[in-house]
Chain A
Amino acid sequence: MSTGQQGIVLEQTQVKTKNEHSLFRKLIRNRFAAFGLFVILLLILTAIFAPVIATYPPNKMNVTKSLLGIGVEGHILGTDNYGRDIFSRLVYGARISMLVGIGAVLFGAVVGTLLGVISGYFGGKWDSIIMRFMDGLSAFPFILLAITLMSVLGQGLVNVIIAIGVGNIPGFARVVRGQVLSVKHSEYIEVTRSLGAKHSRIIFHHVLPNSFAPLIVYATMSIAGAIISEASLSFLGLGVQPPTASWGSMLQDGKDFLVLNPHMATIPGLAILITVVGINLFGDGLRDALDPKMKA
């Protein structure tokens, strides 16, 4: 009866709802998403602790021990044509993949979100200008755009991130614009306006947080795409410079020895495959978990 008792009851219900609706629990219950999360965590840990995990220096050549098979002479995954340890290169390659994947998506997400919000919130002529520009950008084949940018910017890790990031901008701008368009007509936005809030406050405090769910899913999925793009660029010799290990450049090195030594190309290829599938599964799970209409 007293307020104290009421408080206790309230607290209990709060705890209960938190447990039931915890995003993490929903994710873990989905086996595919759990697998995806495992792959991503493994990859991040590998990237961070690469020097500890790698058994050899990744760029150390030893021509006398070139093209060794799997498990031969302590080389877990064998060696390439220069006698470099494939396992160690794979581990260091994870760094590049993660860096480019997350960096490029972050770049695309920040710029794209900003453009999308302006476009969706203010509408009118800004909307037309920005969105037509985005249409133009996405009309370019993605890899062609990246190649063009790479040849303009020159090689290097940062430039790879920018080149792939630019290609990601239109997607984010569109997703965010669509969300903003639907959120901005919500009654609570009108309420906020009726309380005298400024545009910046409405955008960053009310519109954006309510647009985040699809954005997070889209960003996760985009990381997989960015990793593939980086591998493609490196495969084409436009990515990170040799001898830096990247999964794409390892694939490129391996393609000349497909018959003689197939694992040189298949191992980085498998790494890319597992990573991309893992991230996509996680993204799918995340979408289901964030969707209020999907009840677990």
Chain B
Amino acid sequence: MSEELLKVENLEVQFKSGSAITKAVNGVSFTLNRRENIGIVGESGSGKSVTATSLLRLIPSPPGKISGGAIHFDGKDLLKLSEKEMKSIRGNEISMIFQDPLTSLNPVFTVGDQIIESIKTHQKVSKKEAKKKAIEMLKLVGIPAPEKRINMYPHEFSGGMRQRVMIAIALSCNPKLLIADEPTTALDVTVQAQILDLMKRLQDEFNTAIIMITHDLGVVWELCDKVLVMYAGNVVEYGTVKEIYDQPKHPYTWGLLDSQITESVSEDQPLTTIPGSPPDLRQEITGCPFAARCAYAQDVCFTNKPKMTEVGENHYAACHFQTKENRLDRKEKTAHDRAIVTS
């Protein structure tokens, strides 16, 4: 077993608006070893990004607040550090890449300035050395003629190039952990593949662990070692990619898999969806958060919240009917479809 880098225990994040409290993240736990990749998947509003930004303690506060849990990173409890100590970790030991490369760069400075800035924030180097390093980083992320490009402004770059610059900035201080918040969502498909290839290649070079937040299960199968499936602020399934790819257990994960467009989906067949919409997180959810949309739900699902249970080797799911003794059989996709139509 390789060494543990990050351990998140029972993380809870709340947002307060007026008298209502939104529980955006509700007891998320996972571990990540050095050089390992974890994918966080789930639909919009499931708490993926909030989980990731709270690792850097960048939740806008107020209204947001990390209300419980612990984040152990490289021997430190991040929630107990001072703001100053936290600043020395951000960008240095943990870096983040954001979704939209078109707005992630400051439009009034050259890309070079922005890479140099992040280097100089954390390392005591001269401007000249920082510039040399910046050129090196640009070359590494595959930007042609970096000596010229370094003096250009973000608007002179394409979306894919800007995301490359963002990756260069994020990796410039050789972080131990890279959080990628849907890094390819805003890019077109061919560029997506290039960026993923780049991230994979640079991971080998920099020995970085990656948290990959995505809607795209394909990205997870391709890049990650572990998966965390989130729904309405809760983890519903967690395990190794191999386990979950071969034997997904939670009905929500099944739903996500069925919603994918694969070769087996024929042209005239309507696309499968999960009926309904996620619950309102401002209200207390007594049972399983997915119960209202679950084709397998029974009475107990609406009254008791299921606990995370081991369902396989390094594989956990939060479902009343998926335990060591109890096994729920996945219905055929067509049967599931019919269930949707009749319900």
Contact = CB atoms under 8 A, between A and B. Distances in A.
Contacts of A259: none
Contacts of A190: 58, 98
A3 B91 contact: no
B234 interface: no
Contacts of B67: none
The secondary-structure label for the interface of chain A is helix
Contacts of B98: 187, 190-191, 194
B100 A14 contact: no
Interface string B144-174: 1101110010001000000000100100000
A270 interface: no
Contacts of B62: 124
Contact of A7 (B95, B107, B117, B148): B148
Given A194-B90, A194-B91, A7 B103 contact: no
Contacts of A194: 56, 58, 90-91, 95-96, 98
A6 B103 CA distance: 26
The 5 closest A-B pairs by CB, nearest first: A195-B91, A196-B90, A196-B91, A187-B103, A194-B96
A13 B95 CA distance: 33
Nearest to A198: B87
A141 interface: no
A30 interface: no
A71 interface: no
Interface string A56-73: 000000000000000000
Interface string B4-37: 0000000000000000000000000000000000
Interface string A6-50: 110011011001000000000000000000000000000000000
Given A3-B144, A193-B90, A210 B108 contact: yes
Interface string B84-113: 001111111001101110011111110000
Nearest to A5: B145
Contact of A188 (B96, B104, B148): B104
Contacts of B95: 194-195
Given A10-B148, A191-B166, A196 B103 contact: no
Contact of B121 (A6, A13, A195): A195
B122 interface: yes
A276 B68 CA distance: 60
Best-buried of A3, A196, A206 by chain B (most CB within 10 Å)? A196
Nearest to A208: B108
B103 A188 contact: yes
B166 A3 contact: no
A6 B145 contact: yes
Nearest to A192: B106
B148 A196 contact: no
B309 interface: no
A252 B157 CA distance: 59
B117 A205 contact: yes
A193 to B, nearest CB: 6
A196 B144 contact: no
20 contacts: A10-B148, A11-B148, A13-B156, A14-B152, A187-B104, A188-B104, A188-B105, A188-B107, A193-B58, A194-B95, A195-B91, A195-B95, A197-B87, A197-B117, A201-B121, A205-B117, A209-B106, A209-B109, A210-B106, A210-B107
B118 interface: yes
Best-buried of B92, B104, B152 by chain A (most CB within 10 Å)? B104
A211 to B, nearest CB: 10
Interface string A216-227: 000000000000
